[in-house]
Amino acid sequence: MGIVRLYWVSVVLLFAFHLELAGRALPFDFPFYVSIIVALFLVFLLQRKMIVQIEALGAKVNLGLYSIQLLVLFIYLLSGPGLISLIPFLLFLSVEIMRLTLGRKLYHKDELIHSHTREIEQMNEAFLIVRKERHDFLKHISAMHYMLENKNHKEATTYLNELVEGYKETNLSIQGERGTVAGILHQSYRKGKDNGIEVTYDLEAAISSLPLSDRDLTELIGNILDNALEASAEWQKETGKQAHITLQTSKRSGLFILSCKNYTLPIPNDVLDHLFTKQARTTKSGDHEGLGTQIIAQITQKHAGYLDFVYKNQTFTLQIKLPAILKSVDTE
């Protein structure tokens, strides 16, 4: 967040200087402190509504753009008072708009690449686990056969229970699901288990049957489970109690219903008021900006769905309803 704060400070200073020099186009003069106040006020309004991603451009590009904006100041020296003073001011604004636009586009491209990389890793992990289980299946059968032949029924029962528990974990994630979804479900289940969080999948309808593209589907499920896991982990750490996450799906009256319930620490009202909007803010610690909830809302809206959530007694329940329209084979 340090680079973002530095960005806003530099914008205030540059904006104030340009505003002061461009003010020569006005029929009257106003003090420099007025330019500072105006710049501070406008930037204050902007930073409340805008998430900047200038770090995606890198230091060299940002310094280059700042250099251009500083050089533009010299144009004021060559131009006399009048409307011509607005030209360098407009150039300054154009460079700033270009910086913000490019930064956001590069950030989303980086996020997309990261998302695809994660999906591939999740699919590979799920595939390798299934392959290993298949490879070891005959060995397990041989071991059990040996125990039963030697009348070690209690030992065989214990061994079988452990074996079934391991297969159950994998089956929960891959039953009826495509590779991308199975990878996300399996990784989230394992992540929850590693952190002592109980993750339950009650999937009456396969998530893969949702009328979404592979990309939208993985982003939707991935962000829902990531948010639930992070909120549950923080709640569990704070309270010392075991957290639970329940992901459910069903089909009712032509609608696909997806819901996720998890524990969470108290959420401030001002954060709740803007959840799943473009002004979404996060309650997470660290460098987060609430982008996960924005993505969930955007995908739901894109597919003519309905999103609702309830927060009560430190329990957060998200419910999404989507038209259960059959989709063609996705090629994304």
Q: Are 23 and 30 in contact (CB under 8 A)?
A: yes
Report if residue 224 sits inside a domain: yes
Q: What are the beta bridge partners of residue 319?
A: 259, 308
**C-alpha dist (Å) from residue 123 to 139, 186, 191:** 25, 9, 15
Look at residue 241 and give its three-state secondary structure.
coil
Report if residue 150 sits inside a domain: no
- Give the residue from 91, 111, 131 where a domain finishes: 111
Q: 105 and 221: one domain?
A: no
Report if residue 85 sits inside a domain: yes
Q: 203 and 79: one domain?
A: no
**C-alpha dist (Å) from residue 51 to 14, 42, 114:** 19, 15, 20
Structure-token match 């708009």, residue found: 97
Tell me 307's DSSP state: E
Report if residue 132 sits inside a domain: no
Q: What is the pTM of this model?
A: 0.55
Report if residue 322 sits inside a domain: yes
Q: What are the beta bridge partners of residue 198?
A: 244
Q: 107 and 216: one domain?
A: no
pLDDT band at 177 (very low <50, low <70, confident <90, very high): low
Q: Are 225 and 247 in contact (CB under 8 A)?
A: yes
Q: Are 239 and 203 in contact (CB under 8 A)?
A: no
Return the HEC string of 242-304.
Answer: CCEEEEEEEEECCEEEEEEEEECCCCCHHHHCCCCCCCCCCCCCCCCCCHHHHHHHHHHHHCC
Question: Per residue in 112-156, pLDDT tens?
Answer: 787 677 767 766 666 666 666 565 666 667 777 667 777 777 777
Question: Per residue in 16-64, pLDDT tens?
Answer: 877 777 766 666 566 777 778 887 887 777 766 667 777 788 888 888 8
- Give the residue from 111, 142, 173 where a domain finishes: 111
Residues 42 and 20: their CA atoms lie apart, in Å, by: 14
77-81, 135-139, 187-191, 305-309, range with greatest mean pLDDT: 305-309
Look at residue 310 and give its three-state secondary structure.
strand
Q: 204 and 321: one domain?
A: yes
Q: What mean pLDDT comes out for the span 157-181?
A: 64
Q: Are 267 and 283 in contact (CB under 8 A)?
A: yes
Structure-token match 């939208």, residue found: 216
Q: 211 and 88: one domain?
A: no
Sign of CA dihedral 12, 17, 22, 23: positive
Q: Are 55 and 3 in contact (CB under 8 A)?
A: yes
Look at residue 5 and give its three-state secondary structure.
helix
Q: 200 and 107: one domain?
A: no
- Give the residue from 86, 111, 136 where a domain finishes: 111
- Calculate what percentage of the chain has a pLDDT beyond 90: 16
Report if residue 120 sits inside a domain: no
Phi, psi at 194, each rounded to 5°:
-65, -30
Report if residue 93 sits inside a domain: yes
Token couple for 35: 């330019």
The sheet with strand 255-263 has its strands ordered as: 198-203, 244-252, 255-263, 315-323, 306-312
Q: What are the beta bridge partners of residue 322?
A: 256
Query: For the chain, what is the domain count?
Result: 2
Q: 107 and 202: one domain?
A: no
- Whats the size of the chain, residue-wise? 332
Q: 219 and 95: one domain?
A: no
Residue 145, CB half-sphere, CA atoms under 13 Å: how many? 6
CATH number at residue 219: 3.30.565.10
Average pLDDT, the chain: 77
Report if residue 169 sits inside a domain: no
Q: 203 and 83: one domain?
A: no
251 lies in which domain range? 195-332
Q: 208 and 101: one domain?
A: no
Selected residue with higher pLDDT from 176 and 267:
267
